[in-house]
Chains A and B, each alone.
Chain A
Amino acid sequence: MNALFIICGLGILSLVAEIANLKRWLTVFVMIGLVAAAALAVLDWGTTRSYFSDMVLFDDFAISFTTLILVASIFWFWMSGDYFSNQPHKTDRSALILFAITGAICMVSFNNMAMLFLGIEILSISLYVLAGSNKESLNSNEAAFKYFIMGSFATGFLLMGIALIYGATGSFNITKIAAHISSHIDSLPGFFYAGVLLMLVGMTFKISAVPFHFWAPDVYGGSPTTITAFMSTVVKIAAFGAFYKVFSFCFNSVHSSWVLVIQIMTVLTLVIPNVTAVYQNNIKRLLAYSSVGHVGYLLLAVVANSTGASGTILYYLTAYSAASLLAFTVLHILENAVANNELEGFNGLYKRNPWLAVSLTIAMLSLAGIPPLSGFFGKYMVFALALQQGYVGLVLLAVGTSLVGVYYYFKVIVAMFFKDLNGTFVSVTRSSQLMLGILVVLIFLLGLFPEWMITRFTIH
């Protein structure tokens, strides 16, 4: 909870910084604030407290997701220092990101549908602006506009769903809704189920599951690379946390009414983005499709065990975010050296700067799920969860799509190591080197010693 206050405060500070002339120190100050917020969140571990008349509830689930969001944000600020310093309106951007993080925390800690809606809106509106923050780029403008229109539609669905559910159960509070559902399981009106499905559409749009994923490649591809990194890590964690909370905690008693839809979506989300990614020549679009593909594995965990998957999901999201941040950091460093992020630009990167090539390789290997990296262990936990519940067919399908994944992730690796040199040596600052190093070590440590995280963060 204190974390939420600190970040709100940081956001306001960012806005004031313009007037108070604190711009130079802003990023440092924000990072210190984020570390403090993460520390405070961790200190609350093991407690369950609700605030604002039960609007938000900080239990182990919320605290662990909040911590993950904050840690990812710290890395994000570290990687994107020059996104703030090289362009105008530094304070506005910084404030928007901080408000987006506030929204993200609301999305994983809500206990009331109204708070869910607020969280999603705080996050989304900041992102609509940030996606278009490269004002001179046509793609960036297109991304912002597309994201805004699609996002508004989805929010509409979500709101309609919330309204119908309120009509059927008489409450916005998810604990009360869940209690009402289980006590009136046989007498729920038809429009209640319509409400569940509308919410499903809204939420699957936010997590970009197929068939509601089509905005993702354009938005990810068009936005500035740093914002794409933010969307595919922090936003994804928050969206999936919210999705899991709604369907696992609130609608679990009517599991049978939505699980089939999610199963079909899982199959589609495993197959379509992974196959489409094979044909991408732009690495940002490739990563966009890959990020949609990873949602498929997360959905598989939800399908397999809709109430006991939070530990697996948290681990998977951590592993995925670490690898994504690593990949996007390399992409961001190379932004000036590689034109338009086309795959050919990565040819011979190994000779231009071996550290960048090795970092990006480790990111790709982890995303592809190669042991002993953390991405492998995340996939392993999902597959084990699904096999335990007898979903052999879905697991075999997921194995197949992982292989397709290997193909396109390795396209990047092959380009870097095998293709002829293209361009000159790229230099990397000390700070970026350190960050790449920490992320690489983190990916290895998470993969080799997952026990620490599994036992501590398995949420029952």
Chain B
Amino acid sequence: MITVFLLTWPLLAALLLFVLKPGNAKVFALVASLVELVASIIMAFQFVKDDSVQFAVNISWIASLGINFYVGVDGISLLLVLLTTVIVPLIVLSSFSKTYEKQSTFYGLVLIMQMALIGVFVALDGFLFYLFWEMALIPIYFICLIWGGENRGVITLKFFIYTLAGSLVMLVALVYLYFQTPGSHTFDIQALYQAGRALSAYEQGLVFWAMFVAFAIKMPVFPFHTWQPDTYTTAPTQGTMLLSAIMLKMGIYGLIRWMIPLVPVGVMDWGFTAVVLSVIGIVYASCIAIVQKDVKRLVAYSSIAHVGLIAAGLLTLTATGIQGAMIQMLSHGILVFAMFYIVDIISDRTKTRSLAELGGIRNVAPVLSTVFIIVMLGSVALPITSGFVGEFLLIRSLVEYHFILGAVAGLTIILGAIYMLRTFQKSMSGETNSITSTFTDLTNHEKIVLYPIVILIFVIGIYPTPILEISEAATANIVNLFSAYADSIK
């Protein structure tokens, strides 16, 4: 039942916000999201670390079409649910210094978004998954459209149509599989797995591409990334955080849950192509990030590079790669959140995001500068930070998979260091100029947001085992599936 609570609570809170329009919508949303966090922590403590689906609820919904409200959690889902419930209160808290127009609508949409994201991570029915997947798009679209920056009309529409195109193709693939299920057809995940695995290699290839394109657009993987930099830059900061810290994980989660076990032969036939695309994305996005002048855009491109590595490691289909992807998803979530928050703090105070105009912030804001260094080092995967564990596992899996690809992907660490250090140098070090001289250091509530992140960066970096243990059994399942397939080919 706790799964249902996690889904209904944010929705209820959002509806209350829409109807009551409380004067202090921020506090209301914060309390709501903290309750959600507590619920998810209770869930994590009750979780048994095996590969079974737990806290499952299966209610018949549209019986005549074989659609059930079937939700449940395994290790992989649980980590992403936790990521969502941790990040959303931080996002709400990070907006405390701002006053959005029509704020109850704004926070209501954020909470609906949270509901849809959790729905995506716990859905075990193909139709339900699709429904949540699409529902996540609506609130973020309106958040970007109503509260976004310049030119948001065109940019958000491009984002919307781009992602919708991908998901509609995915829907066609899901319905196609649905009709392959026996009897009066069902969208149950296990039945879809059976149907998918029974397809011929050619059909599995088609389904692979239909699913991969949908997920690749969401992440985004090169060459489906063109919507991303504009959207991230234009969106209001809290929107960018939702998009980058949580929403792109929908794509990666989709790969793990709804593509890899679904069409294993298709994945083995086409996985290499997908890995190559992801690796191209890593290098390409890193190079563009190096020459960016706008900090927010720079972080957006760095996100493409990081996600490319996650996708590539994941598609090696090894335990190392998948576990690396899991831990890197969490690490990327908190790091990119912190990164965008710091960018927001800087641009709020200086009214500019241009690197050329900044400089010398370290002299006037040492605390911010220190936090920035820690986040940056996490981002370039320095040992004992959270970024290191994930990137190490991912690159190792890639090197074992294909040495040259692994080596190219490894460039991400060097290129990442270049653009990150350059950003630090241009904004934090150097002489204080007229724009930055009046810069004030972190306020208390900004510290409340950033300190937990700093702690998390180190905790995950130094002692990742508890997290890895949660998803271990579920990951092993996938790996076993593929070793069985590899054996059958031999």
Q: Are A418 and B152 in contact (CB under 8 A)?
A: yes
Interface residues of B in 357-384 (CB under 8 A from A): none
> Given A410-B160, A417-B145, A451-B63, does the pair A371, B131 have CB atoms closer than 8 Å?
yes
Q: Does B468 contact A (CB under 8 A)?
A: no
**Chain A residues positioned under 8 Å from B164 (CB to CB):** 403, 406
Q: What is the count of residue pairs linking A and B with beta-carbon distances less than 8 angstroms?
A: 72
Q: Are B157 and A403 in contact (CB under 8 A)?
A: no
Q: Which of B61, B156, B157, B172 contacts A387 (CB under 8 A)?
A: B172
Q: Are A370 and B134 in contact (CB under 8 A)?
A: yes
Residue on B with the closest CB to A387? B175
A365, B131: Cα distance in complex, Å: 14
Q: Are A454 and B62 in contact (CB under 8 A)?
A: yes
Contact with A along B261-287 (1 / 0, CB 8 A): 000000000000000000000000000
**Chain B residues positioned under 8 Å from A450 (CB to CB):** 62
Residue on B with the closest CB to A414? B153
Q: Does A316 contact B (CB under 8 A)?
A: no
Q: Does A383 contact B (CB under 8 A)?
A: yes
Smallest beta-carbon distance B198→chain A, Å: 17
> Given A414-B153, A417-B146, does the pair A451, B161 have CB atoms closer than 8 Å?
no
Q: Does B169 contact A (CB under 8 A)?
A: yes
A363, B129: Cα distance in complex, Å: 24
Q: Are A399 and B153 in contact (CB under 8 A)?
A: no
Q: Does B55 contact A (CB under 8 A)?
A: no
> Given A350-B146, A370-B138, A387-B172, does the pair A403, B165 have CB atoms closer than 8 Å?
yes
Q: Does B47 contact A (CB under 8 A)?
A: no
Q: Are A451 and B61 in contact (CB under 8 A)?
A: yes
Q: Are A451 and B64 in contact (CB under 8 A)?
A: yes
Q: Are A407 and B62 in contact (CB under 8 A)?
A: no
Smallest beta-carbon distance B315→chain A, Å: 26
Count how many chain B residues have C-beta atoms less than 8 Å from C-beta atoms of the other chain.
30
A458, B61: Cα distance in complex, Å: 17
Q: Are A387 and B176 in contact (CB under 8 A)?
A: yes
**Chain A residues positioned under 8 Å from B156 (CB to CB):** 414
A450, B145: Cα distance in complex, Å: 30
Count how many chain A residues have C-beta atoms less than 8 Å from C-beta atoms of the other chain.
31
A406, B162: Cα distance in complex, Å: 11
Q: Does B458 contact A (CB under 8 A)?
A: no
Q: Are B179 and A387 in contact (CB under 8 A)?
A: yes
**Chain A residues positioned under 8 Å from B130 (CB to CB):** 371
**Chain B residues positioned under 8 Å from A454 (CB to CB):** 62, 64-65
**Chain A residues positioned under 8 Å from B160 (CB to CB):** 406, 410
Q: Are B64 and A455 in contact (CB under 8 A)?
A: yes
A417, B146: Cα distance in complex, Å: 6
Q: Which of A384, A406, A417 contacts B142 (CB under 8 A)?
A: A417
Q: Does A255 contact B (CB under 8 A)?
A: no
Q: Are A383 and B172 in contact (CB under 8 A)?
A: yes
Q: Does B473 contact A (CB under 8 A)?
A: no
Q: Are B134 and A371 in contact (CB under 8 A)?
A: yes
Q: Does B168 contact A (CB under 8 A)?
A: yes
A383, B65: Cα distance in complex, Å: 13
> Given A403-B168, A454-B62, does the pair A410, B142 have CB atoms closer than 8 Å?
no
Interface residues of A in 354-410 (CB under 8 A from B): 354, 365, 370-372, 376, 380, 383-384, 387-388, 392, 395-396, 399, 402-403, 406-407, 410
Q: Does A419 contact B (CB under 8 A)?
A: yes
Q: Are A451 and B62 in contact (CB under 8 A)?
A: yes
**Chain A residues positioned under 8 Å from B165 (CB to CB):** 403
Smallest beta-carbon distance B231→chain A, Å: 14
**Chain A residues positioned under 8 Å from B145 (CB to CB):** 413-414, 417-418
Please list 26 pairs of residues, one from A and one from B, whose beta carbons are closer than 8 Å in the complex, sorted by A's number. Answer: A350-B146, A372-B131, A372-B135, A383-B172, A384-B178, A384-B179, A387-B172, A387-B176, A392-B172, A396-B172, A402-B168, A403-B161, A403-B165, A403-B168, A406-B160, A406-B161, A413-B145, A414-B156, A414-B157, A417-B142, A418-B152, A418-B153, A450-B62, A451-B61, A454-B62, A455-B64
Q: Which B positions have Cβ atoms within 8 angstroms of A?
A: 61-65, 102, 130-131, 134-135, 138, 142, 145-146, 152-153, 156-157, 160-161, 164-165, 168-169, 171-172, 175-176, 178-179
